[in-house]
């Protein structure tokens, strides 16, 4: 939210959120919207370490790394409020959904080389177009359509999974998505009213926190489902009795 404060990054050229700009530092435009990405980075790092330690397929390591890249891009965007940094946030969002699409649909895809090739060129093409043209509603619509394409497959995984702990992960995924959406939409729709409050609840920052957990729960659930497909005897355990993770037992031949 533009406030007329001097800044290191110059005038705002990107979409501005409801948080007041440069209140805490002349180097960070939206302080809470920036630091709220830290949980997402830490959760993705935990997921990456677990995927590498247990030698999951590389697709899951790439997925966790993409979550970290997305959170870092979001930090750069909200700390600078520059158009280039906003594109550096939005483009990885699309790449990440393409990666989820691959993980969800590739096990039953008969032409194994076709899907990754198509998704790669689709991602590159989008990055080029997005760098040349500025999208508003068009980007949101495109992103929403990609997400909706993933839902039927996610639901199929849920109904075919019998493990109660794994189903709980899917429910946590839905819960964090709904809570995060409520916070993010409220921050945008009621920004004028919120600006007059004594205390700003920082709805967009809460969206970041919830989506960090949302991505972690989604990744963990998909790792469990994939381990079931590979007959790796997956089980859900918890770090410190709180944070769920997948533990597998591969056959000796693997």
Annotated binding-site members: 16, 19, 21, 30, 78, 204, 208
DSSP label of 241: T
DSSP calls for 111-125: STTHHHHHHHHHHHH
Return the closest-CA partner of residue 86 out of 28, 157, 13, 24: 13
Residue positions forming the annotated binding site for Zn(2+): 78, 204, 208
39 exposed, middle or buried (CB, 10 Å; 0-12, 13-18, 19+)?
middle
Residue 119: both structure tokens together: 């998704």
Instruction: Please report, in range form, the residues annotated as the binding site for Ca(2+).
Output: 16, 19, 21, 30
Q: Where are the beta strands (DSSP E) in the chain?
A: 235-239, 243-247
Ramachandran area for residue 81 (φ above 0: left; ψ -120 to 50: alpha; else beta): left
C-alpha dihedral (32, 33, 34, 35), degrees to nearest 10: 50
Hey, CA dihedral for 57, 61, 67, 73, is it positive or negative? negative
């Amino acid at each position: 939210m533009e406030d007329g404060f001097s800044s290191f990054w110059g005038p705002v050229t990107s979409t501005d959120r409801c948080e007041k700009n440069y209140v805490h530092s002349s180097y960070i435009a939206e302080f809470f919207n920036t630091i709220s990405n830290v949980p997402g980075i830490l959760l993705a790092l935990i997921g990456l370490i677990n995927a590498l330690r247990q030698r999951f397929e590389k697709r899951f390591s790439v997925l966790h790394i993409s979550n970290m890249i997305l959170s870092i891009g979001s930090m750069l965007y909200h700390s600078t409020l520059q158009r280039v940094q906003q594109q550096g946030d939005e483009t990885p969002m699309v790449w990440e959904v393409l990666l989820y699409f691959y993980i969800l649909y590739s096990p039953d895809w008969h032409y194994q080389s076709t899907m990754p090739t198509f998704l790669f060129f689709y991602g590159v093409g989008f990055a080029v177009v997005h760098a040349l043209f500025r999208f508003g509603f068009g980007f949101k619509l495109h992103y929403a359509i990609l997400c909706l394409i993933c839902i039927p497959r996610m639901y199929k995984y849920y109904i075919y999974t019998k493990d109660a702990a794994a189903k709980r992960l899917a429910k946590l995924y839905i819960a964090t998505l709904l809570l995060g959406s409520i916070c993010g939409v409220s921050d945008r729709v009621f920004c004028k009213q919120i600006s007059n409050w004594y205390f700003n609840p920082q709805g967009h920052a809460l969206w970041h926190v919830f989506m960090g957990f949302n991505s972690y729960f989604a990744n963990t659930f998909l790792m469990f489902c994939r381990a079931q497909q590979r007959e790796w005897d997956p089980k859900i355990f918890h770090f410190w009795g709180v944070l769920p993770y997948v533990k597998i037992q591969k056959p000796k031949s693997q």
